[in-house]
Chains A and B, each alone.
Chain A
Amino acid sequence: MIRRDFSERDIHMALDGELPADERGAYDAWLDTNPEMKARSARFTADREALRSAFAGVLDEPVPARLRKVVLGETPVKTVIPRSRWWLAAAAAVLLVTGGFGGYFAGMDGIGQENPAEDRLAEQAIAAHVIYAAEKRHAVEVPASDKDHLQTWLSNRVGLKLVAPDLTANGFQLVGGRLLPAGDSKAAMLLYEDDKGERISLFVTAESVENAKGTYASAQDGPQAVYWLDKGYGCAVVGSLPREQLAVVAKNAYGQLLAGLAS
């Protein structure tokens, strides 16, 4: 049996079938004497099985006709101009998914920031929601009946082209909006209400330098914030709806906000 020092690197090699067969015995013995490494190996093994099973079904799906046609030459082969769809989704997935785990990455980089920008945004948004959504008569400064002015005013103050999203598809009507402080800059808050009086708010600020996305709650049973940060702006949707429902409304709102920013 070959004697050598093993390390975490060998866990990966063993898992991937890259460990020389004659080292396997020594490796297994090493694992047995290192409970921590053994546990790590077990977790990675389980993750691999989960990954494989998550995608196993794809092989059994019928091959889409359009792909067969490409190979069989039934559609003329054109110059490859990447279709928009897949890379749009890819890019978006990066934006939407990656940031949600910002805390983890921060920790990994050894920065260990407990209160990064995304937490700050979410906290400000939740604080604003808690205060103003509870107000019956003074919830907003500019009512929805004056929507054009509301949008122009907030856009000018915040420094972003703001278009109040239409959330009627989710059952929410615009109540109005107000201007708020957000750190050193300003934020726009748009308040919405459904026919049961349930309120959600959108909190938009032009101050953000990072990409992040996630869900945040500052207290048990309190409202939650679904937020996005991108270069140049941050947005949080706050409400006490069930999380899935909030996420759906938030996506709708965010999509429209972005479309508005770009218009």
Chain B
Amino acid sequence: MDEKKAAILGEIPRLRRYARSLLRDRDSADDLVQDCLERALMRLDNWQTGESPRRWLFTIMHHLFIDQMRKVNRRGEAAMLPLEAGEAVAQPAEQLEGIASREIIDALQAISPDRRAALVLVAIEGFSYAEAANMLGVPAGTLMSRIARGREELRGLLDDTARRRAIRIVEK
């Protein structure tokens, strides 16, 4: 096995984690990883020597993710899909998930894909602002504001979840 392939293999666990944080559902996330790996293998020549395989692969996967999210939004196909989503969301997905994990995973899914990706790359995957900005193809300032807004949104959603747990009483 050549070195490049070995390096790519070694990144799969990290790619899967990133995909899972973007998509939640395990099979869907692995499908995204598979798309990413296929694309990467077709473009092995684009991988410059010395470039971190992780950054290269994450960049490819992120673009696949964002492109599809945009297409879906533009086509308005979301309306056709909740059956799938119902399954995805209804799954007690990861048995390991505790309630707290499930809540934060749900909240993460609810923030905009751009913010979600920025936050995850830095807060979970541990990339620097410069690295993450480069992967996402945005200026550092944009990345920072996505992270800040993403965190605030996430916190707001978690507060909201806690609030919604108590039944709302509407005053008329």
Contact = CB atoms under 8 A, between A and B. Distances in A.
Interface of A: 8-9, 12-13, 15-18, 43-44, 47-48, 50-55, 57-59, 61, 63-64, 66-68, 70-73, 77-78, 80, 82-83, 85-98, 100-101, 103-104, 108, 119, 123, 211, 214-220, 228, 230-232, 247-248, 251-252, 254-255, 258-259, 261-262
Contacts of B42: 77, 80
A230 B16 contact: no
Contact of B5 (A71, A220, A231, A247): A71
Contacts of A101: 110, 156-157, 160
B108 interface: yes
Contacts of B27: 85-86
A228 to B, nearest CB: 7
Interface of B: 1, 5, 8-9, 12-14, 16-17, 19-25, 27-35, 37-39, 41-42, 64-65, 68-69, 71-73, 76-86, 88-90, 94, 96-97, 100-101, 104-106, 108-110, 113, 119-120, 122-124, 128-129, 144, 147-148, 151, 153-158, 160, 164, 167-170
The interface centre, meaning the residue of A64, A78, A228 with most chain B CB atoms within 10 A of its CB, is A64
Contact of B144 (A9, A50, A215, A218): A9
A93 B155 contact: no
B13 to A, nearest CB: 5
B85 A61 contact: no
Nearest to A94: B78
A211 B64 contact: no
A24 B170 CA distance: 47
B167 A93 contact: no
Given A55-B21, A71-B41, A87 B168 contact: no
B20 A58 contact: yes
Contacts of A100: 110
Nearest to B72: A91
A64 B30 contact: yes
A85 B31 contact: yes
A255 B82 contact: yes
Given A18-B128, A43-B155, A259 B83 contact: yes
A16 B147 contact: yes
Interface-central residue, A63, A92, A100, A232, by most chain B CB under 10 Å? A92
A110 to B, nearest CB: 14
Given A47-B154, A55-B124, A91-B72, A86 B38 contact: no
A51 B69 contact: no
Contact of A71 (B8, B69, B170): B8
6 contacts: A51-B124, A52-B124, A80-B42, A90-B23, A94-B78, A231-B76
A89 B84 contact: yes
